[in-house]
Structure 1
Amino acid sequence: MIKLVHEYLIIAIIPLIVVAIITYGIFKGVKVYECFIEGAKEGLKICLKIFPYLLAMLLAVSVLRESKILDGFINIMKPISQIIGLPSEILPLVLIKPLSGSGALGVFTDILNKYGADTYIGLVASIIMGSTETIFYTLTVYYGAVNIKKIRHTLWAAIFADITAIIMAVTLARVMFN
């Protein structure tokens, strides 16, 4: 019986939150429907504003993948990855993750299918997936939405944070795996 109530509560939580917000707005004298419509209009304006930035980002990722430039870059990066102990099998994930979350998810899935989730390579890849960001996508969306064009300091800080996360992923996986 408790499990059944728990399942219904999980299914009903979002509608309950919506009803609670609407009820609270009515008691406060807010025109809830009009506020919703205004918010939707603003959301559409923001979508139209950032669309060119998103299109450019998606196009750049597709060009990198299809032109095999990424493969050449991975070959160049292998000696550097060996210095920090990063397995070269994870380099495609490291290079795709800042550009595309869905692309990184595909690479991550391939790594787990090939090497397994409970291997050193799978563990490092899992930590990297959870601790790094899709830097260029995020900058494109958020800065494009507010028309910020000068991103150099944010970009370098984000790249440095990702490099730190990768080094820590390798270190943490070594500690956990050994």
Structure 2
Amino acid sequence: MKEKTQILDQPAISRAIKRISHEIIERNKGTDDLVVVGIKTRGIPLAKRLQESISQIEQVNVPTGELDISLYRDDLSNKDLDDEATVNQRTIDEDITGKTVILVDDVLFTGRTVRAALDAIIDLGRPKQIQLAVLIDRGHRELPIRADYVGKNIPTSLQEVIKVQLSETDGNDQVSIYE
């Protein structure tokens, strides 16, 4: 694959995180009963960045968690799952019952990852509400799922691939389109 264009650099990603943080605070009238949960892999560092940004704005530590949705995927066969994934690791220390869960992922595409994450969240408890925050929404939904908070909408063709790189997982921050 060849890089077609870079869409977001490190400062643009930081601005998107800050804007989404403000939107979350405004929509929820503060931070009471919020829990930020990142979907493995790149949703986890994005969730931590959102939590840090919200904490800087509101001077409150919002609980965060991590979600591995491997067992909930409908597009992976059992042979695609490794031993670690089949344990279905969830690191959410906060009881989510009655809370507003902000589910965080890097790219919203078909909606299948989010659907799997919703199933995993519901298995943990009954939140008051689940809201979705994504860095990139590229369209092409197969399920009726939409993000509440979007860093950037990027219409793509099905032949294009969005690659999100974050310093925590990849050593640098950027979002690019490949073809």
Q: Assess same fold via TM > 0.5.
A: no
Q: Greater strand percent: which structure? A: 2
TM-score when normalising by structure 2:
0.31
Q: Greater helix percent: which structure? A: 1
Higher relative CO (Cα under 8 Å, sequence separation at least 6) belongs to 2
User: Max radius of gyration: which structure?
Assistant: 1
